[in-house]
Every structure is written in structure tokens, then in C-alpha cells.
Amino acid sequence: MTPTYSNLFPKFIALKSISTDPQFHSDIEKTATWLGEQFHKHGFEYKIVKGYENPIVLATYTVNPQAQTVLIYGHYDVQPAQKEDGWDSDPFTVTEREGRLFARGAVDNKGQILIHMSTVFDLIIEGKLRYNVIFLIEGNEETGSPRLSDFIRDHQDVLKKADFALISDGETTGGHPTLDVGFRGVINLQITLTTSDRELHSGLFGGVVPNAAQELSGLLGRLVDNKHEVTIPGFYDDAKPIDAELRKETQAFPIPQEEMLSLSGCSTLFVEPQANFFTKNGLLPTLEITGITTGYAGEGFKNSIPSVAVAKINIRTAPKQDPWKQCETIVSYIRSQIPSYAKIEIIQDQISSGILLNHIHEYFMRAKTIMKDVYGKAPVLKLCGATLPIANDFDKILHIPQIYASIGNEDCKMHAANENYSLEFLNKGLEFSRAFLQKE
Amino acid sequence: MTPTYSNLFPKFIALKSISTDPQFHSDIEKTATWLGEQFHKHGFEYKIVKGYENPIVLATYTVNPQAQTVLIYGHYDVQPAQKEDGWDSDPFTVTEREGRLFARGAVDNKGQILIHMSTVFDLIIEGKLRYNVIFLIEGNEETGSPRLSDFIRDHQDVLKKADFALISDGETTGGHPTLDVGFRGVINLQITLTTSDRELHSGLFGGVVPNAAQELSGLLGRLVDNKHEVTIPGFYDDAKPIDAELRKETQAFPIPQEEMLSLSGCSTLFVEPQANFFTKNGLLPTLEITGITTGYAGEGFKNSIPSVAVAKINIRTAPKQDPWKQCETIVSYIRSQIPSYAKIEIIQDQISSGILLNHIHEYFMRAKTIMKDVYGKAPVLKLCGATLPIANDFDKILHIPQIYASIGNEDCKMHAANENYSLEFLNKGLEFSRAFLQKE
């Protein structure tokens, strides 16, 4: 660790900036103020912007008006943590054990954003900073960044000065440095199917009346065929084409399937021999039932025919698909499958686009090369199957290329007890950050 | 009401013989004792038999060794009831309002068994009793009569003296007097399907791993086709043939479909134009999903792929099917449908046979004729879709014909708040009981 990092890290961690629990609101405020002070000390202009949920810290440093500008995004808020949750030490006191620093936020995201902060601070002092820098550090990532799009839209004048963005908020994959090059979009649906206004005795009415659980199972069962493909017409439209070069790079993904299989706890993965986990998971749309509730759930049996059945469904859209259009297609198909004797109500939520990032711009190439030097192996270009709304906001509002350089260790336990940053990965992260942000 | 009935009814009702709640155990004991006393007063020999869960009252009266003997079955236990549950008057104090007697047990089964008890008492006094009588009154009907088969098996010496059995524990149908002539069997299954030992992020793993909710929906969805027929090979074996005469009688069922539709709260019934509700529901086996639990059930969404999914299924077998054989057929079919990457656990419970009752024996014919006289309309011969294990026990162990004469009013709200016996139906019940049990 560098002296700057080891000085600031325990102080940053000690601030209980838990955004998911309103009782920590004053700690949130203190954290934003503390961040502002660090930027101020190092000659940044900064604003603590209120009015978009928790305060957002926006700090800019101009090393040279002719230099290129990097926008570095991170978040200072963390998930809840209590010693009783299974922590071996106080979650808000950094504790070193067996080559790891244990603390809530150690990796997600205090530990990672502080790497870039402390590197920039050091490079300023040393007169070696390569880029002008804009830090955007928010306090609502753990609650879904509900107002961040608005903030970005309202602060385009500052943010658009950036030539590219650098984000470090994830883990390496299989011990390899990782550059994310794609994220899927998301659609959440809740389907409520009703066949009667009352539950009915399964003996006295069984076989003669509609059964909401049966109708819902039939519907859900028909949505996926025995090749695990979604049967909704149009579901795969605009999804399949993919840049040959990227396909080649992601195909060459150095993580053995066995490792992903072991991570899944399953006995098989639905990946064809010629594809790989990340190509399939990152590039194809999928439909997953995430919950079904109907009828009696207790011990033993209650022999009633359910009149209401509810399913929650999570759809991930391919990076090139329009999730709002897909949602329309899916919802109208589902409606068309419901017999006239059943009523259906569908709630749509959390719709967000996917994206395939530009992975051949100069900054990306530079990050790739430096990572290879620092880690001694080429980074994996990962098509991430999850959804990152900020990637879209930066793309659609700021129109700038982005680098998602995940530098946390894979076993960091983010969101869980004993979150930790491996010193080996932390030092590699500092090394990468310095090499990337310093002048030649 | 007769004086005997109106004297005993409030006393019987006041005894809180709730079998589903152990705190009422002493009330259960008191009720059995009270019943014994009533039989004793009227010259019965009686035993209060312990060792089969709650005490069973067995009382016999011999009017004449040459006379035929009727076994009258009933139960003295009731469902729980508290004023706060929505009762308009104290549930254990008989209260008359608008031509009805309100009380817990008014119809189920104190009110009905007391009709036959008080009639027999009166006929003894008047010297007009037609049959020797055995009363078997149990205290665990509301908890599923778990030891009644054993009791019947162990007391065959007494019970087999009966030439036939008379049971009144149900409601009329559509205002018509009702004679049940069939009951279906039952099989309960709980299926637990497991695809992993952990829940997985629907973005990071969606589309690449098995989903327990999806696999279960697929399985359940395929069990019934779009004609509402069960697809399991052998499911309908031994089910279809039915006695032409009975079919004709039950076809002529005087309850309009609209009435059953309205009772169901559904917008349609799955009954072909040439069939009727009770023929289909009473004679064909059915499979109903009674509960599904998997994944996240709370507000909003948790985007995890479920690793475990549980379904509860209630199967009703046709009267002529062997439910143990059917269970084997169904379970092995379900197992055969599970892909190798999923684990399945199946619990079987509450298996019991259905039965088609002999509806042409002399006692049945006599009940039918008397009912027509008393009620002014022919009784409906109902193929009841529910399951009555006692019908099987009497058939298989005692080998005697049975009469299921339901004499409660259809809107009696048994098991619910404001259970009530309509005075009109109560008096018709008394009239039928006297006509049936008295000498010509």
C-alpha cells in the first residue's frame, strides 16, 4: 500500500455510510463532507450536490487545459453490516488478517474508488498526473442510483468535458484482471393470474373448475422449450449478431468452464461446446422465473384449489435490444396465452437497456496493455450478463467511451460478512491505477 | 323441533369439544361423558373407549333380537370458534335468528347426529323403534380420524352386527335432499425440485444454469393438456366405466349448472354439455396443484434464480381405482420427467380409496322413498368428488351397505363463523329420521 492509501482507507471505512437504512443519514452526510475535504486538500474544485437523494461529490482537477480528461466514477455508500451478521471483526474498523483487509466497503466501492483517488493525489504532488480528472462519487449505488441519470443530465456541462470514463467497481474473474465490455438490459415482470374470487375445495370442485396454479404453471412451462430456448416470438430479435473480433476475444476467455460450474453449485451448465459461459450469458437474452407464490405453503397439505397465482420474472435483454420494445412483445404474448376464464395483471418494473461498450478506443487499448504488464497476464474481456444502468447513462447522455476495470479480488465477499480486499490485489490495483494515470 | 331435541341441543352445543386445539381436551372428555349419560338414561349399553386418540362413544340398544340393526355414525368434535372470528353471537350458546339456530356444531355434526339420537330416544319411549341401534360417535373427525380404522377393526364383533350404516354429516345440494352414492379417493404429493445448493444472480448466471422454478413449472405445465386432461399415462385407467343406471340418475341431477358456476366464483366450468358437474367431478380422477413455493415472494423483485421449488399436488382417484397403484404410476412418471441436472424428492401422504356405494339395497331404497315423501321432491343421488375414508372402512372391514343422508342446509357455513342450522331443514331432518327409524 502507498502511504496516502493507508492513511485514508481506515478513515473512509470508519464512516458508516449505509444508504439502505435511513438511520445512517447523518453518516452519509459526514462521508460526503469528508470526501469533499480530501479533494479540497489536494487542490480540486469540488461541489457536494444535494437534491438527488444522498449528496453527490463532484470534484475536478485541471492539470493542463490541453490534456485529456478522465471521468472517474465510484460510490461511497455501502451495504449494512453488523458484527452479529457473522463478521470476525468490527466491520467499520479495518482489520488485517492473512494478507487481507477486512471491512464493509473494503472492495465495494470505497477500497476501489480510493485507489484512483489516492493515486491521483500522489501524482498531483509528484507533478506526474497525465489527465485532467473529474471525480463523480455518489451515495445511492446500493439503493439502485434512482436519481443518477437526472444528475448526469443536469450536469452535462461539467461531465461532457471528459474524454472517457474509468470505473472500478467489480471483481477480477478467475484471478485474471477483467475489463467488462458489455452488460445486458433488464425487464422485471410480476404476473398475477386469477381464476375465481375464492379458494375451492379440491374434492368438491377438483377437475371441474379452473386452477390458477395450474394455469400459471402451464403458461410458464410453455415460455421455455426443452432446449432451454424462450418460445416467445421475437424474443431473440436483434440479439444474435456480434462483432467477430469480440466474439473471438471472449471465446478465448481463459476461465475453464469447470470453475463457473463449481461457482454455480449446479451439476450442468447450458453452454454449447463451441460457445462459452460469458458469450452466452452476456450476449443472449434470457428469461428467468424468480418467484412463484400460490396456494398453501405450510406444513402438510391444504386441499384447496388456488384462485390466485403470482409469478415474478426477470428478463435480461441482449445489449443491442430495445428493452421497452421487448417488454411490449413479451407482455402482449403472455396476454395472448391466457384463456378467457382467467384474469391477468402484469406489473412492469426496472426496465433498463443493455450495452456493448466500445472496446477498441485508445484509452481501452491503453488500459488493456497496462493491465497485462501489471498483472503478468492479459485481461479478460468480459461480456457481463448483469445490468449496469450507469454504462447506458454515460453512453447515451455523455457519449464518451468507458473502461470498466474491475480490480477487486473475486473472493472479496462484497455485500456479505467479512468483506475483504486481498493485499495482493489491492497493490496490483494501485500499480495499475498509477501506471494508467501517470505521464509517460 | 321435538322437545327431546330442543332440550338436548343447547347442552350438547355448550360443550366446547374442539379437537383441533389440545387446550380443550377436558371439554372433549366431558362431551364423551355427557353423551354416555344420555345413552344410559335411555336404556343403552354404552362404552367410552379410550386409546384411539379422543374417546369414542359406542352405544347399543336392542329392541328385538330378530330386528335388523342400524349403525349410526357421527362425531361430537367441532372446529374452533371464537366470537372475534366474526360471529354475531356466542358460538357455544344456541341463538335463534331469522329461522336459524346459530352455533358451532349446529350442523357439523352435533346438530345432525342429535337428530338421529333424539329420534331414537323418542321411539324407544313410544315403543316404536324399528331397528336395533348401534351409535358410533367419535371425537377426531375434524383432525382426520387418524385412529378410526383401527377402532373399527378392533371392534368388529360389535359393529358387524349392523345390517347397514346411516350417516348424516353433510349438506343438501341446491335445496334438494341428498344421498351420496360415491366418493373419490385421494393422494397428496409434495414435490421438491432442487437444481443447486445456492441461489444465483439472475444476471450473472441467467440463461446458463438450471432454474428450479422453471423446471417445476415445465413439469407441472405438462401434466395437464389444453383440454384439461391429465397427460400421465394410465391416469384414467379403471376410471371410466360407470353403471348405466346410476349415470342416468346422476345425469338427471336437478341442480342447474349455473348454480354450481355461481358457487365456484369462476367464469366457466370444465363440464361438457352432455355431462354434468357431479358426474364429472365425482367419477373422474383429477390432479390439482394446491400450492407452489419458490424464489422471492415479497414486494418488488429479488433477481435471483431459485435453486429449490416446491409444489403440493392433490389427486382425487376415481371410485374404482386403486389409489396406491395410481400413486406409484404418477410418482414414477413424474420422476421420469425430471432431467438429470435436477434432484427430486417426493413425499406421499393421506392416500385413501374412493368408493361407489351400493345404491340399490333395500335400506337405501327405503331412505330414498321416505326422503321424497318428507321433502316433497326426490333426493339427488350425488357422486361426491371429495374423499370419505370412513365409507371405505365400513365397506372393507364391516362389509355393510351404507346410507349417506345429508340433511343440513347448504348455506350452513360449517367450519366458518355463524354456522347455522335452518329450522326448516332441521325439522325436515327430524321428520325424515322418525319416518326412517320407526316401525310401520
CATH number at residue A29: 3.40.630.10
**How large a percentage of chain B has pLDDT more than 90?**
78
Q: Is the pLDDT of residue B278 over 90?
A: no
Q: Is the pLDDT of residue A197 over 80?
A: yes
A4-46: pLDDT as tens digits = 999 999 999 999 999 988 999 999 999 999 999 999 999 999 9
pLDDT band at B330 (very low <50, low <70, confident <90, very high): very high
Measured between CA atoms, the residue of chain B closest to residue A261 is B209
Measured between CA atoms, the residue of chain A closest to residue B228 is A207
CB contact under 8 A, B204 and A307: no
The domain boundary residue, chosen from A328, A352, A376? A352
Taking the CB of residue A51, how many other CB atoms lie within 10 A of it?
A: 10
Q: Between B224, B304, B341, which is nearest A266 by CB?
A: B341
Q: Between A202, A219, A286, which is nearest B207 by CB?
A: A286
CB contact under 8 A, A211 and B385: no
Q: Is the pLDDT of residue A233 over 80?
A: yes
Mark whether B49 and B100 lie in a shared domain. yes
Q: Spell out which residues of chain A touch residue B267, defining contact as CB-CB under 8 Å.
A: 340-341
pLDDT at residue B285 in the model: 95
Mark whether A418 and A368 lie in a shared domain. yes
Chain A nearest CA to B31, separation (Å): 28
Q: Spell out which residues of chain B touch residue A188, defining contact as CB-CB under 8 Å.
A: 301, 303
pLDDT at residue A415 in the model: 87
The domain boundary residue, chosen from B352, B384, B412? B352
Q: Spell out which residues of chain B touch residue A340, defining contact as CB-CB under 8 Å.
A: 267-268
Mean pLDDT on A212-234: 95
Does residue A269 form part of some domain? no
Does residue B127 form part of some domain? yes
Q: Is the pLDDT of residue B275 over 90?
A: no
Chain A nearest CA to B220, separation (Å): 6
pLDDT at residue A396 in the model: 92
Beta-bridge partners for A164: A70
Mark whether B42 and B103 lie in a shared domain. yes
Q: Between A214, A269, A289, which is nearest B209 by CB?
A: A269
Q: Which ipTM did the prediction report?
A: 0.88
Q: Spell out which residues of chain A touch residue B207, defining contact as CB-CB under 8 Å.
A: 228, 270, 280-281, 284-286, 288, 316, 385
Mark whether A359 and A337 lie in a shared domain. no
Chain B nearest CA to A235, separation (Å): 13
Does residue B429 form part of some domain? yes
pLDDT band at A48 (very low <50, low <70, confident <90, very high): very high
Does residue B270 form part of some domain? no
Distance CA B351, CA B314 (A): 10
Q: Is the pLDDT of residue B391 over 90?
A: yes
CB contact under 8 A, A271 and B202: no
Does residue B115 form part of some domain? yes
Chain A nearest CA to B409, separation (Å): 17
pLDDT at residue A258 in the model: 83
Q: Is the pLDDT of residue B377 over 70?
A: yes
Helix, strand or coil, per DSSP, at residue A252: coil
Q: Spell out which residues of chain B touch residue A309, defining contact as CB-CB under 8 Å.
A: 292
CB contacts < 8 A (A, B):
257
Chain B nearest CA to A139, separation (Å): 21
CB contact under 8 A, A288 and B305: yes
Distance CA A105, CA B396 (A): 70
Mean pLDDT on B368-374: 96
Measured between CA atoms, the residue of chain B closest to residue A275 is B208
CB contact under 8 A, A221 and B218: yes
Task: Tell me how far the alpha carbon of residue B320 is from its chain's centroid.
Answer: 18
CB contact under 8 A, B201 and A386: yes
Mean pLDDT on B314-329: 95
**Helix extents (H) in A224-361:** 244-251, 257-264, 277-283, 323-336
pLDDT at residue B345 in the model: 98
Q: Spell out which residues of chain A touch residue B208, defining contact as CB-CB under 8 Å.
A: 260, 264, 269-271, 277, 280-281, 385
- Print burial letters for A316-343: b (CB count within 10 Å at least 16), e (below 16): bbbbbbebeebbebbbeebeeebeeebe
> Testing the interface with A: which of B290, B340, B349 to mutate, by most A Cβ within 10 A?
B290
Mark whether A132 and A232 lie in a shared domain. no
Measured between CA atoms, the residue of chain B closest to residue A173 is B204
Mark whether A304 and A426 lie in a shared domain. no
Does residue B273 form part of some domain? no
pLDDT at residue A375 in the model: 94
Q: Which residues form the domain of A338?
A: 185-243+279-352
Q: Between B186, B301, B386, which is nearest A188 by CB?
A: B301
Mean pLDDT on A320-348: 97
Mark whether A151 and A194 lie in a shared domain. no
Choice between A58 and A21, residue whose per-residue pLDDT is larger: A58
CB contact under 8 A, B290 and A302: yes
The domain boundary residue, chosen from A329, A352, A375? A352
Q: Between A228, A290, A341, which is nearest B267 by CB?
A: A341
Q: Spell out which residues of chain A touch residue B221, defining contact as CB-CB under 8 Å.
A: 217-222
A409-425: pLDDT as tens digits = 988 998 889 999 999 99
Mark whether A428 and A305 lie in a shared domain. no
Helix, strand or coil, per DSSP, at residue A327: helix
Q: Tell me, what CATH number does A313's domain have? A: 3.30.70.360
CB contact under 8 A, B221 and A220: yes
Does residue A323 form part of some domain? yes
φ, ψ for residue B410, nearest 5 deg: -65, -30
Chain A nearest CA to B363, separation (Å): 26
CB contact under 8 A, B207 and A350: no
Q: Between A201, A296, A386, which is nearest B291 by CB?
A: A296
Query: What's the mean pLDDT when you consider all of chain A?
Result: 93
Chain A nearest CA to B84, separation (Å): 22
Closest CA relative to residue B331, chosen from B347, B343, B355: B347
Closest CA relative to residue A380, chosen from A235, A131, A219, A178: A178
Q: Is A277 in contact with A291 (CB distance < 8 Å)?
A: no
CB contact under 8 A, A297 and B286: no
Show the CA angle centred on residue A302, arms to residues A301 and A308, nearest 5°: 120
Does residue A336 form part of some domain? yes
Mark whether A173 and A191 lie in a shared domain. no
Q: Spell out which residues of chain A touch residue B340, defining contact as CB-CB under 8 Å.
A: 267-268
Chain A nearest CA to B139, separation (Å): 21
Mark whether A239 and A287 lie in a shared domain. yes
pLDDT at residue B313 in the model: 97
Query: What's the mean pLDDT when you consider all of chain B?
Result: 93
Choice between B129 and B238, residue whose per-residue pLDDT is larger: B129
B15-47: pLDDT as tens digits = 999 998 899 999 999 999 999 999 999 999 999
Mean pLDDT on B220-242: 90
C-alpha cell of residue B351: 392416500
pLDDT at residue A273 in the model: 61
Mark whether B231 and B329 lie in a shared domain. yes
Q: Between A195, A216, A270, which is nearest B266 by CB?
A: A195
Closest CA relative to residue A314, chosen from B212, B201, B209: B201
CB contact under 8 A, A286 and B206: yes
Domains of chain B: total: 2
Measured between CA atoms, the residue of chain A closest to residue B302 is A290
pLDDT at residue A431 in the model: 98
Helix, strand or coil, per DSSP, at residue A287: strand
Taking the CB of residue A87, how many other CB atoms lie within 10 A of it?
A: 19
The secondary structure of chain B, three-state, reads: CCHHHHHHHHHHHHCCCECCCHHHHHHHHHHHHHHHHHHHHCCCEEEEECCCCCCEEEEEECCCCCCCEEEEEEECCECCCCHHHCCCCCCCCCEEECCEEECCCCCCCHHHHHHHHHHHHHHHHHCCECCEEEEEEECCHHHCCCCHHHHHHHCHHHHCCCCEEEECCCECECCECEEEEEECEEEEEEEEEECCCCCEECCCCCCCCCCHHHHHHHHHHHCECCCCCECCCCCCCCCCCCCHHHHHHHHCCCCCHHHHHHHHCCCCCCCCCCCCHHHHHHHCCEEEEEEEEEECCCCCCCCEECCEEEEEEEEEECCCCCHHHHHHHHHHHHHHCCCCCCEEEEEEEEEECCEECCCCCHHHHHHHHHHHHHHCCCCEEEEECCCCHHHHHHHHHHCCCEEEEECECCCCCCCCCCCEEEHHHHHHHHHHHHHHHECC
CB contact under 8 A, A207 and B350: no
Q: Spell out which residues of chain B touch residue A341, defining contact as CB-CB under 8 Å.
A: 266-268
Mark whether A139 and A223 lie in a shared domain. no
CB contact under 8 A, A290 and B304: yes
Name the amino acid, one letter, at A407.
Answer: I
CB contact under 8 A, A218 and B224: yes
